[in-house]
Amino acid sequence: MLVNLRRCASRKAHTLVIMTSGTGIDALDAKLIELLEAEPRIGVLECARRLGVARGTVQARLDKLVSRGVVRDFGPRVDPAALGYPVTAFVTLELRQAVGHQPMAQRLAKIPEVLEAHTVTGAGDMLCRIVARTNAELQDVIDRVLASEGVLRATTVIALAEQIPHRTLPLVKEAAS
């Protein structure tokens, strides 16, 4: 009864291959993403049934979405908290101008607890998302970050609660105009 969508996400060639490179999301695309987001375990066939369109259409749409980059992948979403890292913090780094962002990012990438990093405007130069097992260990992670050459200062903000967990669905619906 269940199907696999992940697979179709990379089908090589299909009669219905669409090359519309243009941007923009269709209402059907949005519904498709929405459906997959809600029930990732259903498959192309199920989607087709639910959306009331032909299977080939769903496959073509999915191919298009993936090839356009709208849908990055269908990888497993890991929850750091369940993994034993319940502490999340946002750390703003001030860097020495001499060191470029690239080398800095490479050094940060070596620290597993650094889940994300952006160069930003404002007083700081980089904003990182960091996790740790405990507050004490968070300090340890930050120390490791500070040990990286080029980091002048680190301002840490601890995330107490996740009010809105990472989501894109509303955006998808909004984009389907």
Partner DNA sequence: GCACATCTGCGCAAGTTGACCAGCATTTTC
Partner DNA sequence: GAAAATGCTGGTCAACTTGCGCAGATGTGC
Residue 116 binds which one of its own copies, DNA, none, with CB within 5 to 8 A depending on kind? Answer: its own copies
End-to-end Cα distance, the chain: 32
What distance in Å separates the CA atoms of residue 15 and residue 56, rounded to the nearest whole number?
A: 8
Give the phi and the psi of residue 135 in degrees, each rounded to 5.
Answer: -60, -40
Nearest approach in angstroms of CB 108 to its own copies is 6
Site for DNA in 112-141 (CB under 7 A): none
The stretch near DNA (CB under 7 A) out of 13-21, 71-79, 139-147, 152-160 is 13-21
Shortest distance in whole angstroms from residue 114 CB to DNA = 30
**Is the Cβ–Cβ distance between 33 and 167 less than 8 Å?**
no
Choose between 152 and 171: whose C-beta lies nearer to its own copies: 171
Pick what 14 binds: its own copies, DNA, none; C-beta below 5 to 8 Å, kind-dependent.
DNA
How many Å apart are CA 176 and CA 40, to the nearest integer? 20
Measured CA angle at 106 (ends 104, 107), to 5 deg: 65
- Shortest CA distance to 63 belongs to which of 132, 101, 8? 8
The smaller minimum CB distance to its own copies, of residues 52 and 162, is found at 162
Binding partner selected for residue 55 from its own copies, DNA, none, CB under the kind-specific 5 to 8 Å limit:
DNA
CA atoms within 13 A on the CB side of 141: 26
Q: Which pair of tokens denotes residue 155? A: 């301002």
Minimal distance, residue 98 CB to its own copies, in Å:
17
The pattern of x and - marking residues 30 through 69 that bind DNA according to CB under 7 A reads -------------xxxx-----xxxxxx-xxx--------
Least Cβ distance, residue 134 to DNA (angstroms): 25
CA distance 144 to 147: 5
Residues contributing to the site for DNA (CB under 7 A): 1-5, 7-8, 11-16, 18-20, 28, 43-46, 52-57, 59-61
